[in-house]
Structure 1
Amino acid sequence: MRTAPMATRRSHRAGYWLAWLLAVVGFMAPISGCTVNPARQEADGIIELEFWSLQMLSFKDYMTAMIADYETAHPNIRIKWVDVPFSEGEKKAISSMLAQHAPDVVNLNPNFSALLAQRGALIDFRDYLSPAELSAYVPVTLQAASQYNGQKETLFGLPWYVTSAITIYNDALLPAGVGGPPRDYPAMARLAKQVHEQGKGYLLMPTLANGGQFFKVLFQAGVPLVDETTGRFVFADHGAGQALAFWVALFKSGVIPRESLVEGHQAAVDRYQSGTLGLLLTGANFLNMVRENAPAVFQTTRVAPQFPEGGKGVDFSEMILVVPKRSAHPKEAVAFARFVTNAENTRRLTQLAPVLSPNKAVLQLQAREHPALPTQAGSDDHAPEPLPPVIIEASQLSARQLLGAQATMPVLPRQNELNQRMDYFVQQALLERLTPEAAMAQAQAAMNGLQ
């Protein structure tokens, strides 16, 4: 996903706060045995649950109505809602784990949550919810909030909202008669060369060495990343070098912009909107940006499934709700988190924002319905605006992809450090300082050395 209207992407400050977390880990390590937060319970028996969301003030009406519904149905519960700016979410989460008064339900991303879970700071939802209750969620959305702790698989969060990347392409840049974007790697190489030779720009600008993106490239190419038994990285032993060699060859031939080595996803977005980039792997909500900023490009924009087609994995992102072990009311906190992420409430959210529900029943509706988003999310001042067919198609396609996904990127311990190592060795291969095979072998060794 790439980006949702809420804060779906990790903060640019994530590396700093992850490092800070590891620095205080000696203090946090025994957290599972610490005294829990003293009960916030009034004399009349009312239990107060503190709920932290990330940058949801644009959806204030939705949030307050949902909370009011819950309090009406549960007269003994009061919800204290605190909305946190996305840039401060991870810092505040760490601080709360060290404080006497931790929140009861916290909105975070899975990778950061996994670090907290590894330190014993979060409850395992499988200890509170039955398989039947969890079956309401799309399986891969639960996988993205799970990790193996050496004894069992733990579920450290419940998925709240999701975005799934699709292929968005400018039909005007493709050679006549092509009929759409490439579906496999050989077709990708041929088409990239054709588009570049036309002199109109580039077919694609992949962020191969930025933010650990090559992990996703390997995953979508079907390369196993980690041995499920030992937990050690094995991608270099299963074709990662060959996968990297494909991209090195494209980079060397000049059909990929050299700027892609140092520039990120935003640079590709800018090129697409300028009409000089043929395709982009991004969230369906990106189409609204193109529609507003580049109307001419929007007129020739089409959508297709993720590249490569037919794989088991789907590139998606999600935001989740976690419950700290310091919560004085974990049972009540889990019940509230389940309420926020249920079919009815996630359905309402999908009607306000271009996101997907993690609930099977709602996602099935999204895969076939025609969405009509308000001109201002959460506002009743404007009538719903009909959407162009390509936006409707993109929304349905992203939902179908998620429903059909059989696997997701594993939650990797120490993700930030792993990303840095992957980026470095991919850069070395792209700059021809290492062969692709040597780069992946050294990356694998460096990552296993962290364990």
Structure 2
Amino acid sequence: MKRLFLVALLIVALVGLPVLAETKTLNFLEVMTSPERTVMIKDMIAEYESSHPGIKINLISPPYEQADQKATLMLNSNQPLDIIEVRDNTIKQFVNNKKLTDLGKYYKGWKEAKTLTPVAMMGAKTIDNTLYIVPQCIFIKALFVRKDVLEKNGITTVPETITDLIKTCEKITDPSKNQYGFAWRGKSGEMKFSDFFASANIDDIKKDAMLYSEKKNYFTDPRYVQGMKAYIELFQKGAPKDGINWGFNEQINGFVSGTTPFLIQDPDAIPLIDKMLDPDKYIVVPVPVGSNGIAYLDYGFTGLGIPSYSKNKNQAWDFIQWMNSAEKNSYFCEHYGALPVHTTAFTTNKYFQGKHYTAFLEEMTTTSKYIFKPFPQSSAKWPGWDPIHEADMQNILLGQAKLETVLAKWEQYWSK
């Protein structure tokens, strides 16, 4: 009897071995950190872990200001890391240092790769046309319009061209009533706005890999000069003068108050605006086009990659394809404020079927009209470009520098 009892115990022990198998821990570093975002990612991780009992995911969330530096340090020193959030301005560095895995073989077995938007695939293949990441968030710009403010000022149509936008802004501007047209961007990345206006009429950019680079720029091209003059006119006749110091928050405040009923911004502005303004008081439409019927748009993105030295690549991929599935990605982007990476999100998720998101889908899928051209963020000249451009633009707008002199300086900066 005692012998039978011991045998029974042995059987139970053997049957129970799989349950006692060692749990594998994956280290996941996020870089676009914020308290709310981190909580959401932790909740999604908990959901994944509940259906994958052998996997534990350790989320590393450094302060936003230190996150990119932390990512670089961890990768360069081969610290334990299996999943890493990669940004458009860090992917080149990581690839150059051979720290990211080519995910091509994983993509081949991923059915939902077929529904990635064209812009998402451009982000995935940013470096050497190789799939180093699975995009998670897309950021592009569209035109936000306060139709109620326009109607009060006798405007019943929404401008579809840059020329019409400038004319409309000038028409409704009346400083005595604190009424202007365009929510100017004078600080932090202001070159993305000036380049949008100045580059619109240059057909040659279509064939270029980037909006400009060390190999090619158009700063002294007559068409670029003309576009810059139109942009300066917009500031002088259709925007508040203190807009020269406006950043993102000031732009949003100007739009919400109705002081500036035209705003060019990314989709992450929508949740913020909706908290401050009745959603029915504004619309979002595609950006206006140049005289040639096209517009050049830059795009930002984040994505998930696998460090080249990870010992858990297959497990890391399983989580990445789950996290970036159409269902989970649309949920994540809905609550984060970015654009989802799957076309199906715009037909299956009611949030992205809303009127404020159709413009972004039109821009992403009408690639003959809205042409995506990235900035040269991988260039060694890029880190120093923002402060130079911002200071020079302020000097031009304040009448302290001549446009032609500044454009010649920019041409030389990128041509050296």
Q: TM-score range by the shorter chain?
A: 0.7 to 0.9
Query: Matches of 2:385 and 2:359 in 1, distance apart?
Result: 31
The 5 Å alignment of 1:311-322 reads: 311=294, 313-314=296-297, 316-322=299-305
Normalised TM-score (structure 2): 0.76
Paired residue for 2:75?
Answer: 97
Deviation of 1:202 after TM superposition, in Å, equals 0.9
Q: Choose which of 221, 227, 230 in structure 2 pairs with 1:246.
A: 230
1:210–1:220 CA distance, 2 compared to 1 (3 A): farther
Query: Matches of 2:323 and 2:333 in 1, distance apart?
Result: 13
1:157 equivalent to 2:133? Answer yes
Q: Choose which of 165, 169, 174 in structure 1 pairs with 2:150.
A: 174
3-state SS of paired residue (1:393):
coil
Q: Choose which of 371, 376, 385 in structure 1 pairs with 2:351.
A: 371
Query: Matches of 2:95 and 2:207 in 1, distance apart?
Result: 19
3-state SS of paired residue (1:203):
coil
Paired residue for 1:38?
Answer: none
Of Structure 1 and Structure 2, the greater helix share is in: 2
Query: Matches of 2:356 and 2:201 in 1, distance apart?
Result: 23
Paired residue for 1:64?
Answer: 46
Q: Choose which of 343, 363, 378 in structure 2 pairs with 1:360.
A: 343
Q: Tell me which amino acid in the other structure corresponds to 2:141.
A: A
Query: Matches of 2:274 and 2:331 in 1, distance apart?
Result: 24
The 5 Å alignment of 1:325-364 reads: 325-350=308-333, 352-364=335-347
Q: Tell me which amino acid in the other structure corresponds to 1:187.
A: D
Q: Give structure 1 stretches of 5+ with no counterpart.
A: 1-42, 373-390
Work out whether residues 114 and 156 of structure 1, in 8 Å CA contact, stay in contact via their aligned partners in 2.
Answer: no
Q: Choose which of 116, 131, 148 in structure 2 pairs with 1:137.
A: 116
Paired residue for 1:394?
Answer: 356
Rg: which structure is higher?
A: 2
Work out whether residues 196 and 295 of structure 2, in 8 Å CA contact, stay in contact via their aligned partners in 1.
Answer: no
1:430 equivalent to 2:411? Answer no
Query: Matches of 1:207 and 1:98 in 2, distance apart?
Result: 36
Paired residue for 2:17?
Answer: none
Alignment deviations for residues 132-153 of structure 1 (CA, whole Å, 9 cap, x no partner):
86433112122134435xxx43
Query: Matches of 2:137 and 2:97 in 1, distance apart?
Result: 25
1:304 equivalent to 2:304? Answer no
Query: Matches of 2:269 and 2:344 in 1, distance apart?
Result: 25
Query: Matches of 2:362 and 2:258 in 1, distance apart?
Result: 28
Deviation of 1:157 after TM superposition, in Å, equals 2.1
Alignment deviations for residues 386-427 of structure 1 (CA, whole Å, 9 cap, x no partner):
xxxxx9210333333333346423252143323333334433
Query: Matches of 2:123 and 2:415 in 1, distance apart?
Result: 22
Query: Matches of 1:216 and 1:444 in 2, distance apart?
Result: 17
Q: Tell me which amino acid in the other structure corresponds to 2:117.
A: V
1:94–1:132 CA distance, 2 compared to 1 (3 A): closer
Query: Matches of 1:350 and 1:63 in 2, distance apart?
Result: 15
1:299–1:395 CA distance, 2 compared to 1 (3 A): closer
Query: Matches of 1:219 and 1:364 in 2, distance apart?
Result: 33
Deviation of 1:324 after TM superposition, in Å, equals 2.3
Paired residue for 2:219?
Answer: 236
Paired residue for 1:409?
Answer: 373
Deviation of 1:280 after TM superposition, in Å, equals 1.1
Alignment deviations for residues 95-123 of structure 1 (CA, whole Å, 9 cap, x no partner):
20233424111123211233332333323
Work out whether residues 160 and 321 of structure 1, in 8 Å CA contact, stay in contact via their aligned partners in 2.
Answer: yes
Work out whether residues 239 and 260 of structure 2, in 8 Å CA contact, stay in contact via their aligned partners in 1.
Answer: no
1:264–1:249 CA distance, 2 compared to 1 (3 A): same
Query: Matches of 2:409 and 2:124 in 1, distance apart?
Result: 29
Work out whether residues 425 and 442 of structure 1, in 8 Å CA contact, stay in contact via their aligned partners in 2.
Answer: no
Work out whether residues 162 and 197 of structure 2, in 8 Å CA contact, stay in contact via their aligned partners in 1.
Answer: no
3-state SS of paired residue (2:356):
helix
Query: Matches of 1:299 and 1:129 in 2, distance apart?
Result: 40
The number of residues matched between the two structures is 376
Paired residue for 1:32?
Answer: none
Deviation of 1:206 after TM superposition, in Å, equals 2.4
1:130–1:218 CA distance, 2 compared to 1 (3 A): farther
